[in-house]
A and B are shown apart, each in its own frame.
Chain A
Amino acid sequence: MAHNFYIGFSYGVTGVILCLMIARTLGAYFSFRKQIEDEFKSEDASKNS
């Protein structure tokens, strides 16, 4: 029973750390990609006008 606690906690902590890393990476990626797209969109719009 006590062993289940150690196993569960180890897998749980690993899952949390990996999820945080994945969320942080995906968040930054989509945020900067959107910024780049917006910058180039505004540049195209100003050229066309």
Chain B
Amino acid sequence: MQLAQRLTLPVWGLSIACLCVGLYMAFSAPADYQQGMTVRIMFIHVPAAWMSLFVYTFLTISSIFGLVFRHPLGHVAAKSAALIGAGFTLITLITGAFWGKPMWGTWWVWDARLTSVLVLFFIYLGYLAIWTAIEDPLQAGRVSSVLAIVGFVNVPIVKFSVDWWNTLHQPASVSRFDAPALHSDYLWPLLVMALGFQLLFFALWLLRMQTEIFKQKLRVRRLGLVETTNRIAGGNGT
């Protein structure tokens, strides 16, 4: 808890600095010979897409720690990451549609990449719905962890959908086994924005973790108070 409190401000500062530098670099990048200025959508769409997969992987690992190893912070870490992951996935879907319209001539196609990202968004929503629907945190943690682990099947499908199926979406340009197929004018702003998004995730996650711990402390304290009151009331009755 103390470490989280100490880390929060520096991570916030770094993420804001990275995003400012990344935005400056993104708007200084030259126009693409095919896409023109529309290529600038890439600097938010691609980092958001990377984050949606990264956060889900992080959520699954935390859920395994909570469910299998019974680590007390496992479910808290997973729950704290879920809303941020859903936000990044929503950004991916919306910016993808706004990039698709001028480039492909359509907002949406039911191809493997787009559909699997939409499924990922629904899994995030399902995960969050379980935490809202079940009041007991232990039971909610168990049920949501099972969904998170089963839902992880979708992550490699999202990543490799462009290789496994013939899709309108282009294949990977940066995370390839050989050198990235992206010019350094576009690669550097993209990497700085990705770092900014990554740091923003950790900044938000640290705050959400602390909030969840506050909530649990309050819950335990209030339950203790109710028990004490009930004991006193029972004692007076007899």
Q: Which residues of A contact B (CB under 8 A)?
A: 2-4, 6-7, 9-11, 13-14, 17-18, 20-22, 24-26, 28-29, 32-33, 35-36, 39
Instruction: Report B189-227 residues with CB < 8 Å from chain A CB.
Output: 200, 204, 207-208, 210-211, 214-215, 217-218, 221
Say how far A20's CB is from chain B's closest CB, in angstroms. 8
Say how far A49's CB is from chain B's closest CB, in angstroms. 18
Q: Which residues of B contact A (CB under 8 A)?
A: 36-38, 40-41, 44-45, 48, 83-84, 87, 90-91, 94-95, 98-99, 101-102, 200, 204, 207-208, 210-211, 214-215, 217-218, 221
Is the Cβ of A6 less than 8 Å from the Cβ of B99?
yes
Taking CB atoms, residues of chain B closer than 8 Å to A29 are 207-208, 210-211, 214
Is the Cβ of B37 less than 8 Å from the Cβ of A3?
yes
New A-B pairs, 14, CB < 8 Å, besides A9-B98, A10-B94, A22-B204: A2-B102, A3-B36, A3-B37, A6-B41, A10-B99, A13-B98, A14-B91, A17-B87, A17-B91, A25-B207, A28-B211, A32-B214, A35-B214, A36-B218
Say how far B104's CB is from chain A's closest CB, in angstroms. 12
